[in-house]
Structure 1
Amino acid sequence: MSSNPNANDLAGAGLLIGSFPHRDHREATDLILKYTPEIPCWPQLPARGEGMLVQFSRGLPGFDPEGLRVDPEAPNFEEEKLRFYEEYLAVTEAGRPLSETRFALSPEETPGLYVLLEEARGGNFLAVKGQITGPFTLATGLKFSDGRALFYDPEMRDMVGRLVALKARFQIETLKALSPRVILFLDEPALSGFGSSAFVGVSREEVLASLAEVIREIHRAGGLAGVHVCGNTDWSLLLESPFEIINFDAYDFSEKFISYAQELKEFFIRGGWVAWGLVPTLRKEALEKETVEGLFQKFRSLIQGLAEKTGLAEELLLQRSLLTPSCGMGTLSLSLTLKALELLKGLSERVKNS
């Protein structure tokens, strides 16, 4: 099975963002395997404290998980920074196994990853998906004790990028036990605020460099790099980055996304994919009333509109389309979670059979 995402077998497949409202990883994993059997992911359960900032931050020098802070005044902070870079080089230059380092994800940190490995072993999947908090969201979400985001400190920004890169690589190497084709999504909700007053002084070049660091490691590990943003952003930033897959809230932001016609055309020409977040998990009232047919008609309209704007054939755009919820399902009720899963599975089947 090729690791190339351009293989037509992926077209129209459904996949998930990762979060569930459950407290039991096996229950969530059973639903994943039932409703997204072609490209399963591992579940994250916010109800069990699996927050996107804390879950991937262990190993960062001076990190305090209780306050989501980094304290440069912590004992042995400078020595810990030195050990961080020594371990990083031991992996990247000397071939030390990630499992022996701070960059490994333990069963205590990411139990859903290990439950998926156990429950799905021996399955026949088109691909398998992992996810990790992206470097921009992590470095802007974690703060110093004075409230300043780590992203504004070049050294800490660098360490966050390296930490995310090798934890992404660890996921890819681990998930290859289930499929040779691994998709790794960077979850970057903070990019919705890029260019606003929330991130004054953050340059485009700094964001691009931060993303590129992680994407390079994903590619070195043989994975496919995707990015998920659940709000609106400067889509040219991501379309010009070396991602294979862009995932966004297509239910609410499709017009703004499609307005980047030239960038989208170039993205598709070089082999890119769009994962359309059409199941409205961010809008409970919309989720309650939506139907598979309604979402299918919305999808067809988006493909037609994109074809008109880019001059690309609808067939090509359909072949490069995946389907997802607009965001994770961690805040939904169990009944609405099932509704979202049923809509996604039904929409995928409808697209594939059209």
Structure 2
Amino acid sequence: MSEKSNVSWGAGAATGIGSMPGGDAREAVKTVTGSLEALPYLPELPARGPGADMIGRTAGMLVDVFARVEPSGWRIGDRPGRDTKRARSWLGEDLDALEEFTQGYEGALKVSAVGPWTLAAALELRGGEAALGDPGACRDLTASLAEGLREHLADVRRRVPGATVVLQLDEPSLTAVLTGRVRTASGYRTYRAVDRAVVEGALRDLAAVAREATGASPVVHSCAPGVPFALLRRAGVQGVSFDFSLFTEREEEAVGEAVEAGTKLFVGVVPGVDGPLSDPAGSVMGVRTLWRRLGLSPGTLAESVVITPACGLAGASPAYARTALAHCARAARSLADNPE
């Protein structure tokens, strides 16, 4: 298999990032599957508490690494405790709901987990410092995550056999890891920047796990400024998900090279919190403008771009979350209907 294997979800696709408001798994999955035809996803419901948040959910997937909640956050421990069990229970509940509302579904289906570098920045070792400060702990965490993702992706494929599963790795701390801006426990210092080759290598290893488990390379999401598009392209991901409002001209060359190499762009153009929305065509006007500046063919726009909210929808009202996903779908169709 080639280093980067892409899934086709057709032109004019839309999806969400991950989180949804509320604590009812069935209602969240019903909303997602009812709003998104081409690329539905498994929601996260962090309002339920620790273990349902993205760090806790992914910590519950780890193999032979266990985490518990401390006042300062998630900390690695010696054995699975109630926090690990709660995280796994909630994930099982979410997967049950997904299975219920995807009976007979055939097409792309996105699931997410926190990537190795954001996880290393968030999980504390026994002394209270982040795993990020210990290269050996980072390697162990990446290996544990790889095994956990193999099991999780296999479970999703069993539950939704008609789906082509797409893994999204959430890496909001990736830029801070690369630039040495992750603060230590005291808050007075920062951890040393991790070598770009080491960061790329870990992501490439997890991309290989995703391809082996699903036949498709992962998508990497970051809603932070300064997304390292070139590094992610080299790591073999099939798509990069980002907040379009934080995109700058400095990143245009790297984005153009990524698109020409076949990388998909998951472009966050719809606000993730309650507020007025423009018409769908207006929401993607900036994307069309970017395409023209890059000199890319208009005919490739709807195939290369997936429309998303700017970030997760956990902070939105349930009504707005439904509206935002429907708006993303309409905006994506406008790209397909009027690529110019």
TM-score (norm 1): 0.79
Report the residue type matching 2:336 in the other structure.
K
Question: What SS does the aligned partner of 2:218 have?
Answer: strand
> For structure 1, which segment, 182-191 or 200-209, has the greater mean C-alpha deviation from structure 2 after superposition?
200-209
Question: 1:322 corresponds to which residue?
Answer: 306
8 Å Cα contact 2:242-2:267 kept in structure 1: yes
Question: 2:195 corresponds to which residue?
Answer: 203
2:54 to 26, 34, 52: 52
Question: What SS does the aligned partner of 1:289 have?
Answer: coil
1:146 to 122, 127, 138: 127
8 Å Cα contact 1:16-1:324 kept in structure 2: yes
The CA distance in 1 between the partners of 2:17 and 2:197, in whole Å, is 27
Question: 2:251 corresponds to which residue?
Answer: 260
Report the residue type matching 1:70 in the other structure.
I
8 Å Cα contact 1:291-1:343 kept in structure 2: no
8 Å Cα contact 1:239-1:263 kept in structure 2: no
**Deviation (angstroms), 1:145:** 3.1
Does 2:175 correspond to 1:183? no
Question: 1:20 corresponds to which residue?
Answer: 20
The CA distance in 2 between the partners of 1:246 and 1:56, in whole Å, is 20
**Deviation (angstroms), 1:4:** 5.9
Trace 1:150-299 onto structure 2 (pairs within 5 A).
Answer: 150-176=131-157, 177-194=160-177, 195-198=179-182, 199-221=191-213, 222-235=215-228, 236-250=230-244, 252-254=245-247, 256=248, 259-281=250-272, 284=273, 287-293=274-280, 296-299=281-284
Question: What SS does the aligned partner of 2:69 have?
Answer: coil
* CA RMSD in angstroms, aligned pairs only: 2.5
Change in Cα spacing, 1:174 to 1:11, as seen in structure 2 (3 Å) is farther
**Deviation (angstroms), 1:178:** 4.0
8 Å Cα contact 1:243-1:272 kept in structure 2: yes
Q: Which runs of 5+ in 2 are unaligned?
A: 183-190
8 Å Cα contact 1:16-1:40 kept in structure 2: yes
Question: 1:98 corresponds to which residue?
Answer: none
Report the residue type matching 1:201 in the other structure.
A
8 Å Cα contact 2:63-2:148 kept in structure 1: no
Change in Cα spacing, 1:306 to 1:147, as seen in structure 2 (3 Å) is farther
The CA distance in 2 between the partners of 1:140 and 1:110, in whole Å, is 26
Query: Over residues 149-188 of structure 1, what are the superposed CA-to-partner deviations in whole Å (9 max), with x where a residue is unaligned?
Result: 1122222211211222233233332333343422110011
Query: Over residues 233-284 of structure 1, what are the superposed CA-to-partner deviations in whole Å (9 max), with x where a residue is unaligned?
Result: 242332332110100011x123x2x533332233222221001111110xx3
Does 2:104 correspond to 1:111? no
Change in Cα spacing, 1:234 to 1:346, as seen in structure 2 (3 Å) is closer
Aligned residues: 310
Q: Percent identity?
A: 24
> For structure 1, which segment, 341-350 or 11-20, has the greater mean C-alpha deviation from structure 2 after superposition?
341-350
Report the residue type matching 1:304 in the other structure.
T
Question: 1:96 corresponds to which residue?
Answer: none
Trace 1:58-73 onto structure 2 (pairs within 5 A).
Answer: 58=60, 59=62, 61=64, 63-67=66-70, 68-71=74-77
8 Å Cα contact 1:230-1:327 kept in structure 2: yes
TM-score (norm 2): 0.82
Change in Cα spacing, 1:203 to 1:339, as seen in structure 2 (3 Å) is same
**Deviation (angstroms), 1:349:** 2.7
**Deviation (angstroms), 1:128:** 0.6
**Deviation (angstroms), 1:226:** 0.2
**Deviation (angstroms), 1:55:** 1.4
The CA distance in 2 between the partners of 1:245 and 1:321, in whole Å, is 9
Q: Which runs of 5+ in 1 are unaligned?
A: 76-101
**Deviation (angstroms), 1:62:** 6.1
Query: Over residues 50-93 of structure 1, what are the superposed CA-to-partner deviations in whole Å (9 max), with x where a residue is unaligned?
Result: 0111212234556341221125xx58xxxxxxxxxxxxxxxxxx
The CA distance in 2 between the partners of 1:164 and 1:204, in whole Å, is 20
8 Å Cα contact 1:15-1:322 kept in structure 2: yes
Question: 2:325 corresponds to which residue?
Answer: 341
Question: 1:300 corresponds to which residue?
Answer: 285
8 Å Cα contact 1:42-1:130 kept in structure 2: yes
**Deviation (angstroms), 1:14:** 0.8
8 Å Cα contact 1:303-1:318 kept in structure 2: no
